[in-house]
């Protein structure tokens, strides 16, 4: 399972690289933005995902491969944390404009989670390394408890972030649907992009919440349980689908931009005033 998903990540990353360097670069009006934060974070998300699957497969078959299982477990957890961190950053960059429409406490809480998330993930990994490499047998119960506490804090922070974003997406889509008949033409383009982000983001949030629930269940059943590998495989598969949804969002936004460029071209050709609304820098 892990080997298959890791292998599947190679053509997916290849397509993402092709799309960024060729399709977007060819159609960009202001020149290529290959190394924009959007592209770098999304590509790192896919790279971490492929690495996570690879290290999970190695840790499962460590004996025939004669590979240190502790190293594979450490690198696998590092990749998992990077996946969630890249997800938080990418979701925040894409969606903060939607969340900021109403502002308030939800925006501030989400911004705070984005800021502290690298720190809490670093602490979680540090405790895991302490448990695996330096703790003796008498210290392992304490380090295991610390791992559980740090993982719980990380999980709750990401669940809170995900719930806030999910509610913002659902709220925007509902209001946008109600206001669709009275919307001004000036705001239509912003609405189109926001609707794409909210639609794809909604499903992305749902999948990540499911992945976190499954991952938490795998921790509850215990490391020795025969169901742990099955639950973790399912969790990683959900993260994989999550990445594909975010790539789909990127493609959909590009198609939206291309359609708007064609509309502007036709408007100039037939003498109508083009609609100039620049929201790309915020999205």
In whole angstroms, give the CA distance from residue 81 to residue 87: 10
Q: What is the pLDDT of residue 274?
A: 47
Q: What is the pLDDT of residue 112?
A: 93
What is the phi-psi region of residue 165: left when phi exceeds 0, alpha when psi lies from -120 to 50, beta otherwise? Answer: alpha
Q: What is the pLDDT of residue 179?
A: 62
In whole angstroms, give the CA distance from residue 68 to residue 87: 29
Q: What is the pLDDT of residue 20?
A: 85
Average pLDDT per block of 10 residues along the chain, 283 residues long: 70 86 65 76 89 74 56 80 90 89 85 91 86 76 82 88 91 77 52 87 90 77 65 81 91 84 72 48 48
Output b/e per residue, 235-244; b: 16+ Cβ within 10 A: bbbbbbebbe
Q: What is the pLDDT of residue 222?
A: 59
């Amino acid at each position: 399972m892990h080997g298959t998903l890791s292998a599947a990540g190679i053509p997916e990353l290849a397509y993402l690289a092709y799309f960024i360097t060729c399709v977007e670069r060819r159609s960009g009006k202001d020149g290529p933005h290959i190394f924009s934060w959007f592209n770098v974070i999304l590509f790192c998300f896919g790279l971490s995902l492929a690495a996570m699957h690879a290290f999970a497969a190695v840790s499962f078959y460590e004996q025939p491969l004669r590979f240190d299982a502790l190293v594979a477990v450490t690198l696998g957890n590092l990749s998992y944390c990077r996946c969630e961190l890249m997800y938080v950053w990418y979701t925040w960059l894409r969606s903060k404009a939607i969340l900021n429409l109403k502002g308030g406490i939800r925006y501030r809480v989400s911004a705070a989670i984005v800021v502290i998330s690298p720190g809490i993930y670093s602490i979680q990994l540090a405790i895991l390394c302490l448990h695996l490499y330096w703790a003796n047998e008498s210290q392992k119960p304490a380090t295991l408890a610390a791992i559980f506490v740090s993982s719980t804090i990380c999980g709750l922070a990401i669940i809170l972030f995900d719930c806030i974003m999910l509610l913002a997406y659902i709220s925007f889509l509902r209001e946008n649907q109600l206001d669709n008949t009275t919307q001004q033409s000036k705001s239509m383009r912003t609405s189109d992009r926001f609707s794409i982000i909210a639609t794809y983001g909604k499903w992305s949030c749902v999948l990540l919440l499911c992945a976190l629930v499954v991952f938490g269940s795998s921790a509850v059943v215990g490391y020795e349980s025969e169901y742990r590998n099955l639950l973790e495989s399912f969790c990683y598969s959900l993260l994989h689908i999550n990445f594909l949804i975010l790539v789909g969002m990127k493609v959909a936004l590009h198609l939206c931009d291309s359609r708007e460029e064609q509309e502007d071209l036709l408007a100039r050709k037939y003498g109508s005033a083009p609609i100039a609304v620049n929201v790309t820098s915020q999205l």
